[in-house]
Structures are given as C-alpha cells and as structure tokens.
Amino acid sequence: MKKVLTLLAVLMMVSSIYAQNVGVVAYYNAPTAAEDSVLSGLTSLRGANYIDDLLGDGNSAIAVTNYNYGTVQVFANTGTDNQIELKWISPTDISAGGSTPRYVAFGDLDNDGLNEVIVQLAGIGVAIFEWDGVAGSYNFGTQPSQIVNFEALASASNSGHAEYFEITDVDGDSENELVIALNSSPNENDRYYIISAVGNWITNQPGFSGFTLEGEFVRTNMADYAVDGGSPYAMISADLNGNGKKEILLHNWNLKNVVPITVPSANTYNLPNTTNGNLQLGEGIDDVALFSGVAADLDNDGREEIYLPTYPGQDGEGGYPHIGWLHIIHYGDGEATNEITAENATVIDMSEITTLDQFGIGYGDLDGNGKPNVYVGGGNGVNINTAEFQGGDITDPANWTVANLFEREEGTYRRIVYKDSVGVLDTAYTYSSEFVSKLYAKNTDFDKDGKQDIIMPYQGTVDSIDVLNLTWNGTKYDTVTSKIQAEKRWGLKILEADGATSVELKEMDIVLPSDYVLEQNFPNPFNPTTNIRFSLPVNNNITLTVYDALGREVKTLLSGEELQKGSYEVTWDGTNNFGSKVSTGMYIYTLKYGNFSKSMKMMLVK
C-alpha cells in the first residue's frame, strides 16, 4: 500500500518586519497503528539528519528517529520527482527500556569510505550500523556493526541520552571522531567524550576494531567552569577564530553555560583559562539550548559562528524573560579561544514573533535572495522562525531581521468540543502540542532541484483526536466522549522555497517495501520450467534467487540487475547454478530489493 505525501505551495504568514514566500513541499502522513505498528510511530520524531550522497550513487537520504518505537528509519530520494523511498529500518530487538533514540547521524567513523547510520541508545551505548558497500543495497545490517560501550571505554555508565553528537575530524588528523555529550546518572557519569575508531568493522560484525578515548571531560571535575552545576547537552565544533583549527564548545544546562575547548594538535583537547573559562548566557535565568546549536560562517569572513537557540527558564515571578533569545558565539580574527567573555556573545531577540520555546536550529537561504538565514524550530503556531542577516557586522543585532516563516497547518488538533446550548452550537478546537524538534537545514537541497529545503521532524503529532459533545438538557449538560482519527498525522515535513501566491495541492509517493510485488509462479506445481513475475514501483537493483527447503542457494536468476520501474517475468528451468537438474521438492524464490525482500514457495514435481 502506498502512503501519500501532500505538497502545498502557499504564501505563508510573515511579520511586518520581513516577508518571504515559501511553500510547504511535502507532508509524510504516517499510517495508523492498525495499518503499521512501527511506521505509525513516525508521528513523533525527535530528530532528523541528512546526507547529500549516502551510497555514492548521487541520491540523498534522510534518517529520522522514531521516538515512539525506538527505531531509526532511512528514506532516500529515488531520483524521480516527488518521490522518496523507505530504505532501511533499524532492528527493534536492540532497543530496551529507556533506549528510545533522540538523535541519529550519518558518518564514516572507521574512515573506510563506507557510510554508517549512528545512533545513541540508553543502556547500550552508541550503535554503529555500517553499509555493506553493495551498490544500491541500503543494507546497514540487522544488528550493529560495532557499539561504543562507555562502561568498557571510560569506566562510565551507558545509561542516559545524547540530544546531539557529531562525526567529524575535529583535531585535523584526517580521521573522524565521535564528539558527544552524554547526559547520564549519577552526576559523575555525565561526560563529554571525543572518541576515534581503531581498525574497521563490517556490516553486522565488529571485525578487529575498537575505540580510542582521545578526550574526556567529567562533569563533577569541572566546578571551575560551572559544568558541575548542570547536565551535558552539546559539544559543537567550529573554527571560531579562523586559524584553521577547530574548537569545541561545551554546553550544559546551568544558566545556558558554555565552555570553549581548544584543539591545538591531534588528540589534544585543552580546557580554557579558569579566569574567563566559561560564560553563562542565561544571565541568572536557567535557560538551555535543549537540542544543541549549529556552527556556520554566515558572513563569509573565514570564521565560524555558533548559533544557540533558547529553551527558556523561569524567573522568580514565573515569567520567561528570555523567550526568543538566539545567541551568537563569535571571535575575532586570530583571537585567543582559551577564554570566553560577554564580548564573544550577541543576542538576537526574536520575542516579538514568538511566545513559545525554541528547539532545533539550522541555516540557509531559502528564498535565494543572497542573505543567509538562521532557522529555529518551535511549537505549534510558530513552527519555524527565521533571523535573516542583512550584511555588515554580524554581531550587531540591528543587522538582523526576524520573522515567522511557517506557523502551523490548520486541522492539527488534539481536542474538539461541541457545545449545544438550547440549539446554539459552539465549537472549540485545541491544537496539538506538536513541535518542530531537530530540524535539518545547512543550505540543503534534498530533491536536488536547485531550491533549498528545511527538513522538519515533528514530535508530539497525534494520531487521534478527543471529541467532547456537550448537550444542554434543561438542567445540565449531557456529555458524550469519543475519539476520531486525526487526518493530518504529518510527522515529517519538508519546506521548500516556492514564491507562490496561492495554494496548490500536489501528491508525492512514499515508496514502501510493500509496494514491490512478487507473484506466485506459474505453473505451480511445475515440470520442467516455471515463470516468476514481479513488479517494481521504482528503478532499483534486483536480485532473484531460488533456495531449497533448507535455505541453501540453488539458482541465482538475477544478481544485482539494474532494472527500471515496471513488470518483469523470469523463467526458471529447474536447474542449479551448475546447470544440473534439481530433484522433486519444494523450493523458495526470493526477490531482494535494497535492504528488503519478499519470498514465495513453489513445487517441482517430476
């Protein structure tokens, strides 16, 4: 069964400060639990990540965390307009209580040229799923190729979670590192890690591989930097002063505290001076950048900035004075990065366009006007806010304009109340509490049509709506409660610049494994030959194999054949791979397409 994405090209609501035309390009309408128990969990996505070319075939891919079912799904651009395909689902049997993934990344941690899907799981560690290298296979395994076990590596706990991590060459040694802040328990297990791989793993097997702990910072040992006072939330790498070497900004939930770590050479990670070694951006309010920040050189001066949204804390009067605050961490050309002061931080105040929390963050130039934007995800009502840099001094707030880029889609309700007061009917709607979690935007063009995209995962999208009917009977209201299916179970949206001035509705296919058709062979039973028919919804590499009843390979009919969308028929003549006739009995034929397969039985009778 095909699921449908709905595309909208629409002029969005904008502020009086700044206008921008965009279109909501794609909605993924997740199936109900009755239709698919796992994919229905895509109504609640903690995060999404993107890679421009996952398998080296030019096709981009998106990975999302299924927050309800503890799995990761990978979708790929098929190369056909308005179409993406589900390519891989992580195994559910590695998930345990509390191990729901919060972040997923693509990377090549063992530096062998084969990309991996990497996810942190509480109680387990960091699971690494390596591609098998077979063209078009999208086979990242049925179990992790390798696991970063913090108990073995650092005598610390695998419990807890990471909201963000990076796979990057942070120390300039031409080898990638895992840079991760782990929020664990108790406090002495809260750690900031820099980890590299030793050797190579292969799909489903660790091989002769392991890990090296290049750097480690322990929360309880960092009182001089106010790190001991709050949980770890991020490690963000950037070349802050333009000297060609990256720094790492540690962030923890203690008045939005940040600490710069310098990386002068390979495997060397230095704490800053204790005099000005940290900066609490919350200014007395316990704010945090809940889902991390993003590094970018938006003014093209050769120095990256780090942008941190704000999940605001309360003041003593129950208010949230820092709603809408966006911090920019910046350094001058060649400025020492072994300290940080208020001179290294600028606030862009977005409070005039939002009253809600800020979550994920990205950047780009969606409208193509040559002015870079920072995009911030929020709750239902202000799903995406933007701050556009107008040029000049990037640290001057006057050089930024802010606007609401995308508010909400009508009909995303969680509760409807129908109140009948002596024939007068009132209807009240309560919107769902869904929010844009860890959006992805880094000048991204997912469908490679020359227009930038924002990939928007949503957490908290409902699959059903509570309905309350109130009818006045003369003395009191009679109440009837029920549930109806939510029509807009849109857990994944892709926003694209369009410039349209009216609403245009289109459809886009999500190709699922069930869309591949393998028919019963005919004739069946057969002697001496039989025909096998199958149909492909998209172009793909196809393998068709015959096995005996014990699962041993008998005959390969197709091996990684690049076939176009359409229907095919293949004849098996009852011989094995050596050309010999096989005996009477039951045989199984399997159609393998990418990481998925379908099988059916047939009977040879002589």
Q: pLDDT at position 450, please?
A: 86
The pLDDT mean for the chain works out to: 89
38-42, 351-355, 364-368, 451-455: which range is least confident on average? 38-42
Q: Quick one: pLDDT band at residue 12, thresholds 50, 70, 90?
A: very low
The distance from CA 208 to its chain's CA centroid, rounded to whole angstroms, is 30
Residue 320: pLDDT band with limits 50, 70, 90: very high
Q: Is 98 left (phi over 0), alpha (psi -120 to 50) or beta?
A: left
What local confidence, expressed as pLDDT, does residue 99 receive? 60
90-131: per-residue pLDDT in tens? 987 665 545 688 999 999 999 999 999 999 998 899 999 999
Q: Which H helix or E strand runs over 151?
A: helix 150-154
| Predicted confidence (pLDDT) at residue 1 exceeds the cutoff of 50 | no
Instruction: Return the SS3 of 221.
Output: helix
- Cα dihedral 193, 99, 594, 31 sign: negative
pLDDT at 25 over 70: no
Residue identified by tokens 């702990």 is 213
Find the distance separating the first CA and the last CA of the chain, reported in whole Å. Answer: 38
Our CA angle for 80, 81, 85, nearest 5°, is: 55
* Cβ-based neighbours of 325, under 8 Å, separated by 6 or more: 287, 309, 310, 312, 347, 348, 349, 350, 351
Structural contact between residues 384 and 378, judged by C-beta atoms closer than 8 angstroms: yes
pLDDT bin (cut points 50, 70, 90) of residue 502 is very low
Whole-structure pTM value: 0.90
Alpha-carbon separation of residue 406 from 11, 290, 292 (angstroms): 10, 21, 21
Q: Which residues contact 125 (CB under 8 A, 6 or more apart)?
A: 147, 148, 149, 150, 151, 158
**Quick one: DSSP state of residue 499?**
-
pLDDT tens, position by position, 33-47: 777 766 777 778 898
Q: What is the CA radius of gyration of the chain?
A: 27
CATH class in words for 516-604: mainly beta
Predicted local distance difference test score (pLDDT) of residue 503: 31
Contact 293, 308 (CB under 8 A): yes
Rounded CA gap, 383 and 376, in Å? 8
Burial, 92: exposed, middle or buried (Cβ in 10 Å; 0-12, 13-18, 19+)?
A: exposed
pLDDT(133) > 90 = yes
Domain boundaries, the chain: 516-604
Q: In what order do the strands lie in the sheet with 294-296?
A: 294-296, 305-308, 325-329, 345-349
Cis peptide before 525 (omega within 30 of 0): yes
Write out the DSSP string of 311-370: BPPP-TTS--TTTTEEEEE---TT---S---GGGEEEEE-GGG--S-EEEEEEE-TT-SS
Backbone φ and ψ of 35, nearest 5°: -80, -40
Query: In whole angstroms, how far apart are CA 392 and each of 26, 397, 399, 400?
Result: 35, 10, 7, 10
Between the CA atoms of 314, 315, 318 and 321, what dihedral angle is there, to the nearest 10 degrees? -80
Contact, 464 vs 507, CB < 8 A? no
Buried b (16+ CB within 10 A) or exposed e, 348-367: bebeebbebbbbbbbbbbbb
486 — pLDDT class (breaks 50, 70, 90): confident
Q: How many residues can be counted in the chain?
A: 606
503 vs 87: CA distance, rounded Å = 31
